Amino acid sequence: MSRLPATPATSFLKERGVPFEVRLYSYVDHGGTEHAARELNVDEHTVIKTLVFEDEAKRPFLMLMHGDREVSRKELARAVKVKTVSPCPADTAARHTGYQVGGISPFGTRKRLPVYAQKSIFDLPSILINAGRRGALAEIDPAYLRELLPVTEVEAAREGGK
């Protein structure tokens, strides 16, 4: 494993015996998954973003999406069974998760949040998902998402990136 100071995410994975490899890259503000994929020479579709959303009652939840896809808010709201959903502001996302935007992992969050994941993520042999720090992704088998998190699979992807 690459040298990485322990984060709540890597500690969470280690404590549960999950095999993973940390892949480091030079983080760039607003570079997103496109930059990470290019730096690591991987398909952007396998880089999974962890997004913090809230419903109309300001209840937060996580959404896991392919790096090369956008979230259809309409489809996500339908799947979550609420009227509307919107991305949380960066400071709110940090307060809920304990991570900075650009470094948010679904593992080891400050608060236990509901997690929704694009169904097609589970079709991939491995994914790269944030390891709890900007510039660090954990490569894991997506099946561990089902094992470790309260994941609800949804269809909310639409073409587009970032």
Confidence of residue 2 (pLDDT cuts 50, 70, 90): very low
Q: Is residue 1 part of a domain?
A: no
What sign does the CA torsion over 110, 116, 118, 124 have?
Answer: positive
> Domain containing 147 — which CATH number?
3.90.960.10
Q: Is residue 2 part of a domain?
A: no
Which tokens hold the place of 28? 């760039």
> What's the domain range around 65?
8-159
Between 161 and 62, the higher pLDDT residue: 62
Q: Is the Cβ–Cβ distance between 95 and 42 less than 8 Å? A: no
Q: What is the per-residue pLDDT across 112-132, written as a single tens digit (0 to 9) for each?
A: 999 999 999 999 999 999 999
Least Cα distance to 155 among 78, 44, 56, 88 occurs for 78
Q: What angle do CA 9, 76, 78 make, to 5 degrees?
A: 140
Number of domains in the chain: 1
